[in-house]
Structure 1
Amino acid sequence: MKFLCAAAELLDNGSRGFDIEGRKLLAVRRAGQAYVYVNRCPHRGVPLEWQPDQFLDASASLIQCATHGALFLIESGECVAGPCAGQSLAALESREDEQGLWVDL
């Protein structure tokens, strides 16, 4: 497991991007639960954010790809709108402890 960040660095309804060992990742917290995905849109293979740590739509309820506007469910990574509907972001195993958020690469 690789350390991503302290729990306080990923706020509820917030998102952050990471580059760990050359792999681009994103983490989102929803209702206290953290979700970690590979930062790569299944449509074109491009990173999702439009500026650093900006992965959510205006309502902070969906992950949004800045390139073509695809929308993904935070809890599962499933694309529910846009050019890759039916595909999903690649989820990564993660856990949280008193130190913070960890991801299994």
Structure 2
Amino acid sequence: MAKYFVQSGTLRTTVDAENGQKAALWAVHQAMQQVLPVDDEQHTSQCKATSMSESGPSVMDHLVFVSEVGFDDEHPTRYPTMDVVRQWNEMLGALQRLEQLLGDRGLAA
């Protein structure tokens, strides 16, 4: 896996991923975890609130910039943030359907 530097608005993160698009997707996941109950077993609402009050929320811009060179690269790959958020939402929906399907089968067994 390659190391990618992802930035959008105030979000700046380094991600190990198979490609730039997956790095952008993971960065959106990190940003969305701040406000949504995603994987809330690890991050309670109080921990999220404390973290945001200490470091501030990561606010994304209309584009996600991804580079293997570093932050503020002159020629990053650009992804429209809403496209990445849409992919993230579809992925989350698919995971929820899978969990429900596996849960239903577990009850039937």
Richer in strand (by share):
1
The TM-score normalised by the length of structure 2 is 0.24
The TM-score normalised by the length of structure 1 is 0.24
Richer in helix (by share):
2
